[in-house]
Amino acid sequence: MSSTSQKHKDFVAEPMGEKTVMALAGIGEVLGKRLEEKGFDKAYVVLGQFLVLKKDEELFREWLKDTCGANTKQQGDCYSCLREWCDSFL
């Protein structure tokens, strides 16, 4: 059982609203920039992609890796962050 980061806890605590993509757990400055270049400038856009992929872990991880080059840990952090947020607010 991996413990969640402070960033994760902050994100899942409230509706994301207009938060930037860098507010997501696992997405730092570098990955955030790459996502913004691809058009994913807000966290809710990444959420939209997460939902379009039917919240499937494997598909989302693969997409994230292809889109911004996230490694395994970053993929996992972002996935669990979004999944938990959906469990609370979706």
Partner 1 sequence: MSSLSGKSDEEISQLLDEYGIKHGPILESTRNLYKKKLSEAMTKKAKPSSSNKTYYREEQEEVEYITYQPPQLSIYDGSGDVTRRSKVTGADFAHDIRRSKLTDYRDEDIGYNNEPIISPARSSYQSSSRPGPSVSTSMQRGQSSPETSKSGGVPGWLRVLVFLIIAVFLYYVYTCMEPAEEIPLKSIQ
Q: Are 44 and 88 in contact (CB under 8 A)?
A: no
Sequence-distant (6+) residues with CB within 8 A of 79 are 50, 57, 60, 61, 64
**Smaller CB distance to partner 1: residue 22 or 53?**
53
**Smaller CB distance to partner 1: residue 10 or 56?**
56
Among 11, 63, 79, 85, binds partner 1 (CB under 8 A): 63
Among 1, 13, 54, 72, binds partner 1 (CB under 8 A): 54
Residue 42 φ then ψ, to 5°? -120, 155
**Smaller CB distance to partner 1: residue 10 or 62?**
62
